Structures are given as C-alpha cells and as structure tokens.
Structure 1
Amino acid sequence: MGRKSIVKNRKEKTKKVEKWTQAILPKLKSTDLGTLTIDDLASLMNKSKSTVYQYFTTKEEFFEYLTQVRLEHLSSYKAEIASEILQLDYQYKALIQILTEGAKDISAFYLRQLREHYPSAWKLIEDFLLELLKDLEKFYISGIENELFNAVSTKLLIKIDEYFILQLITDDSFFDTSTKDLEAVIRDYMFLKFEGLMK
C-alpha cells in the first residue's frame, strides 16, 4: 500500500523570498523550463530543496509566483497612463522605462518556454498584456483628441501593438538574428512609436 501524501502548510512569502526568486530570472534566459525540477530551481537559487518546499509545492506554483511578482512591479504603468494627458512627454518616457524594467533579465526564449510549459503562469502575462493593450488604446484616443498625437488610425496602432506584444516578444528566432535583447527591442519599439505619433 502506497504512502498517503501529506499536505503541508507553506510559509508566507516575504520580501526575502521575492528577492531570491526574482534573482533566478537571468539564469533562466536560455534554459529549457520543461526539463527543470524543484532540485534544479533550488540549485539555481543557491537554496536547499527543503527551503524551496517551505514556500512552493510545485514548479507551476513557483513560476506563477515568479510571474505575479514581476507583473505587480509592472502595474505602475497604469498610473502613468492615467495621469494628465498634458504631461504626455513625461508619460510615454516613464512608460518606456517601466516596460523595459519589466523585461529586464527576461528573454523571448524564456517567455516562449513559460507559455509552453506553465500555461497558468503564461495566462497571468497574457491577461496583463491584454489589459495593457486596452489602456494603450485609450491613451492613443486621448492623445489624438487633445491634438497631442497625429491623427492616425487607433485600430492600426493597436493591431501593431497586438502583434508586437502578443507574438514578437515570444519569437526567440527573431531575437536569435538580432543583436538586441528583449529589453532593448521594447525600448526601441516604444520610442519609435511615440516619436512618430508626437506632433
């Protein structure tokens, strides 16, 4: 007769846990996430397996937490978009900084691996990106109505954003042929777009 699994209470995640889990991201840029074990994750974080198990039951739970923490840091973009449209120059430059910081230490390969192997963590990213697209559309409309942006098709702008945000950022073949990393490409994309929109 097999042993019954014991459900253990996990420790509450602290800022310390947040720090050592986020520190693993640079090490995952080119790692096949599907082959990783909890032992591997513990080793990459220089933690014992028992320490990791105090906070996480499964790899899925680990990657959901890792993703959620990064997205919480990114959530400040909403305040930038929602602030006065008259401060537009400040908004878009701050928005670029927020989004590039969010992409720091993350590769397109990592995002594709996350989508393939940890769909619940990817869903958090996808929901965040869809919300970002809605906010950007409102931002474009407001900028055009206030005559701060050139009068261009907001549908076209969003379609371009949709391709970039939902497809290109997980296309690691594009980044294999590009000398730039994800963070730099996001910065260039946002800069070119807003500089082109500004009157």
Structure 2
Amino acid sequence: MRKIAPDERRMMREAYAKKVIHVIRIQGFLSLTIQDIAHMMSLSRASLYNYFSSKEDIIMELTNLCIDYINEADQTISNEELSYQLRFQKVFEQTVFSAAYASDIYLTDLKRSCPHLYEKKMQSRKEQLSTIHTFYRNGMKAGVFNDLNTSILIIQDETVLGKLVNTSFLIEEELSLKQALFDYYVAKKTQVLKPEYLENTKNEDVNAMVDCILKKLAAI
C-alpha cells in the first residue's frame, strides 16, 4: 500500500470529512456507523482507516474545520483597517457557515458523546459572539450602524440563516438558496446600516458575494 505523505493525508482528511457534513448536520452522527460514514465518503471501510483512526477522529476533524473557519473569519471582522461594510459581509458569511457546519442536532450529539470537543466548540462560539458584539457596538459608536440591540441582531441571523440552509424549508417555500441569501442580506444591511452608509453600498455586487458563499458551501 502506498505510504501517504503527512500533507496529503491532512488535505484528504479535510476533503473526506467535508463529504459527511451535510448528512451529520441534518441527522446527527450517533446513529451512523463507520460503514455508513465510509459509504458517504465513497471509501471502503479499510481505506477510511488510512485517514481516520475512529468515528470520534472524524468528528474531531469536522469540529476543527468549523473552529478554524470561525477563527479565520474573526480575524477579518476584527480588522479595523477594513471598512465596516466589508466586515459586515464577513459577519453574514460567517453566520451562514456556522449554520451549515453546526446544527442543533450535531451539537447535541457532540455534547453527549464527545464532551471535550463540545467544550472546545462552545469556547470558540463564545469568542465568535464576543467578536460580533464588539463589531456591532463599535459600528454604532462610529455612526455607521443604526442603534440596535446587538443580541437581537445575532439571534435574528442565527434563526433566519439556520432556516435558509435547511433544504426542506427551501423546498416548502419554493426558494432557491441563492435567492434566499440574497434577499436576506439586502434586508439585513437595510436594517443595520445608516442611510448615508447604505447609499455607499448601491454598487455592491451582492450576487457575486452570494455566489462566493455558495461555491464555498458546495465545496463542503
């Protein structure tokens, strides 16, 4: 059997883990067997063990993927050299991916079976929320954002975007994910940005931003 180089193994672990995110976010992972997961990865059970030592190892990879993305996004959101409008887009994107990566059922299963990973994920979420709260408060102080309750803004995003990444909801409402994200982003920025700053976003290519998000989601 060909020996797998460490860098290749790391990239393949990530790629294979992404193949099971959609199923796990919908139905959790406690009921899944290694054979189920291998099938979703288009691998034999024996080949799966070339990359993962156990089911928990797969869940660890998924959790770390989520945490790494959040940390990367937090750096952009906290970068005061960037405009508030640009960072507002990043907050939107981050919340979309948080909804796609970590559903309630996934987090419930994580808490039950991998408490150490659950605590790690919750600490990351705590830091994420702190970053977003600070971003909104600073934007309000700077006169860029309307004076709104930051906690309500965050809950609103989590609730709405959690629904929008739910395929069954989109089917019931006869919506495409692209149109749903586009419409919600436009409504959100109208709610948050003061009129003079909203005026400056008229030439903003929302379609391009949403397409970028969809391409990233498709890679999951």
- Establish whether TM, by shorter chain, passes 0.5: yes
What is the match of residue 122 of structure 2? 126
* Corresponding residue pairs, total: 180
Structure 1 window deviating more from structure 2 (50-59 vs 175-184): it is 175-184
Structure 1 window deviating more from structure 2 (124-133 vs 15-24): it is 124-133
What pairs with 1:11-90 in structure 2 (closer than 5 Å)?
A: 13-84=9-80, 87-90=83-86
Q: CA deviation at 1:95?
A: 3.0
Q: 5+ residue gaps in structure 1?
A: 1-10
Q: CA deviation at 1:101?
A: 4.6
1:114 aligns with 2:114: no
What is the match of residue 190 of structure 2? 195
Find the aligned partners of 1:195 and 1:169 in 2 and give their Cα distance.
17
What is the match of residue 92 of structure 1? 88
Contact 2:136 2:145 in 1 (8 A): yes
Q: 5+ residue gaps in structure 2?
A: 195-220
Distance 1:111 1:101, change over 3 A: closer
Distance 1:68 1:98, change over 3 A: same
Q: Alignment identity in percent?
A: 17
Residue-by-residue CA offset, 1:78-135 (whole Å, 9 max, x unaligned): 222122266111111233234435545x5xxx72332222223444443322212111
Find the aligned partners of 1:75 and 1:184 in 2 and give their Cα distance.
28
Find the aligned partners of 1:124 and 1:182 in 2 and give their Cα distance.
30
Cα RMSD (Å): 3.6
Question: Residue type of the partner of 2:193?
Answer: M
Contact 1:74 1:98 in 2 (8 A): yes
Structure 1 window deviating more from structure 2 (20-29 vs 127-136): it is 20-29
Structure 1 window deviating more from structure 2 (129-138 vs 78-87): it is 78-87
Residue-by-residue CA offset, 1:149-199 (whole Å, 9 max, x unaligned): 1233xxx3214524754x777789x98556369998777656534431211
Task: Give the TM-score normalised by the residue count of structure 1.
Answer: 0.69
